[in-house]
Structure 1
């Protein structure tokens, strides 16, 4: 009974931290009242994105409030007609430049090299760089709001996290964990103020950087071989003396990361090993997550079966407190909470399985993405 009470208190503290982050510390960029006058380059890396690039590029062409906007698109060896789609949509629009990317050299992964080529070949006059993935659709004022927030916050790197579109059962089980994890376990205000590179987070789907600070940090060349290049870039910025900020971008952008379960499974599998570091650290973190969030409903059932009603009630409270954290996260980031929050224990179990799969395939050197090895 005492152990259950301690568990419930721990979950309550973490959910309280989620609430503080979501209601007090989480920045929410607003649309600026005046145009952003500085030159801005939006950088779009593409590899086999023919089915997804259309809405993304149309949204970029429809941006408002940034007269100096230029869009640089890099085709990274696509074989599915991506280039043709880009040319059809962009037409003769002088704001769009289409580049042909080179294969990544030894020591580089594909995504960092594509982003580095874009950054180094964009208009030198651009003082702000906006990296956007093909699965992101921006609201009309998104670039203006993000660049204005970058300057208002006085940071080098701003990560406006998009609203994640969860269309399938698998999406709804796994995708909301992204926002939940950083709202629950990452002290946002401390992350902004601290110079420690280890205290950093970012999402590469929509990333805004001050160009001078980006180059001072080494840009994507400093994270050439990192599968989590977005987080590692944020750490590089901090090491170079810059500041970072993770903000709610749910009103600025939407993102459907994966089309189906195989893509979602393989997408998480390729990178979860890098999230936790060594296997011992992963085992410790997963054990803690399973104990705090997956065990309570099982313990409640076991306690009821044993006739220990008070213990069952404490376990139920712990379960509901964990679900409440998901509710807070969903309401803060534009997600859905009903009935998804109630399946939070299942989500944590699936995350654990994906992590084990990630380490297993990495050990066997079978991790790949978009036809390229990632480890």
Structure 2
């Protein structure tokens, strides 16, 4: 019995040493929440914004999901000078949809990017081409993904906020559209891996290497983007948005990441399997991080998101000792506290999801049960370099 208690205490102390510092870091980030900038609101443009924004949309076989974006962009007002769709030789009719939109709105322009050079990833290459062909008279460059569904007043609201707050670059977190049970359970757990690692949206992060960004809706002063050579510094990154934002922040420019749930929605992937494969392999952000950052983030996620459920379940379903040791009781209390935080975070992010048409929407509230799986996905992604993305294959070099 004494030997069993000694082993139990040793294991408990070891886990506490892993979890307590990580919990302190997590709390230091979450406690910044009350100071965050409120969500962006849609706004009407004012005359000084006339023709101030060039929008660039990279596309590759997006025919099934680009229509809401094209319609939403047409509803933006006179602050938008041009909308350049840079297509990478889609084979599914995407260019035809853009040409049809152009007949209704002359601000649309379709171009095909040059063959992908060695060392470039497709998305930053398309965005870079769009930047080079955009009007130098625009004050702002905006990159939007084809799966975005913008509300009227998105661009005016974002530009006005950027100018009022003095941002040189600002991106938005969207409202996610969920449709199927599996993704309703898995996607929030994957999103939580980002929320645990970084400051809340709306907090100005002072350390460039900890800056967060989302290329789905990415606004940058044209002069700043020209200063850093467009997307060249993120040419080989599979998380080019974060890589570019951190490079720009490192040069002293003000970079922001704000809550955009009231101004844009996104339907990213169809079902849990596609979410696991496509989104999961970019969430590690290894292309924008040093090895020390990657290992630090993996430790934090393992400690505060991966372990709590496992430890609590192990305690509940293992033979209970008659007199649990103090370290074991402390360990159990800490992990129950972490689970409480996790469910509180679920309530906090609920407005970031559109679950009106979802089947099995109740699974959203069970997403903490997917946390160990989500953390495993980040570990798998952190040690693998993508070889295929959006239908493009990349060499191992």
**Kept in 1: contact 2:38–2:202 (CA 8 A):** no
Q: Which residue is equivalent to 2:50?
A: 37
Offset, 1:14? 5.8
> In the TM superposition, what whole-angstrom CA distance separates every residue of 1:63-87 from its partner, at most 9, and x where no partner exists?
13x3443211111111111111222
Residue 321 of structure 1 corresponds to: 341
Aligned to 1:143: 155
Deviation at 1:170, TM superposition (A): 3.7
Which of 374, 377, 382 is the aligned partner of 1:354?
377
Q: Residue in 2 aligned with 1:340?
A: 364
Give the secondary-structure state (helix, strand or coil) at the position aligned to 1:167: coil
TM-score, with length taken from structure 1: 0.85
Structure with max Cα Rg: 2
Structure 2 partner of 1:84 = 96
The answer to whether structure 1 residue 371 and structure 2 residue 389 are counterparts is no
Distance change (3 Å), C-alpha of 1:321 and 1:94: closer
The alignment of Structure 1 onto Structure 2 pairs a total of residues equal to: 369
1:251 aligned residue = 262
Shift in Å, 1:317: 3.5
3-state DSSP class of the match of 2:174? strand
Report the 3-state secondary structure (helix = DSSP H, G, I; strand = E; otherwise coil) of the residue aligned with 1:226.
coil
What is the CA distance between 1:207 and its match in structure 2?
A: 0.5
Q: Which residues of 2 match residues 182-221 of structure 1 at below 5 A? A: 182-187=194-199, 192=204, 194=206, 196-221=207-232
Match of 2:3 in 1: none
Unpaired segments ≥5 residues, structure 1: none
8 Å Cα contact 1:45-1:74 kept in structure 2:
yes
Cα distance, 1:287 vs. partner? 4.2
1:288–1:240: structure 2 CA closer, same or farther, 3 Å change rule? closer
The alpha-carbon distance between structure 1 residues 60 and 203, as it changes in their structure 2 partners (threshold 3 A), is same
CA RMSD of aligned residues (A): 3.2
Number of the residue aligned with 2:6: none
Write the distance in 1 (CA, Å) between the matches of 2:79 and 2:293: 48
Q: 1:7 to 1:273 in 2, by over 3 A?
A: closer
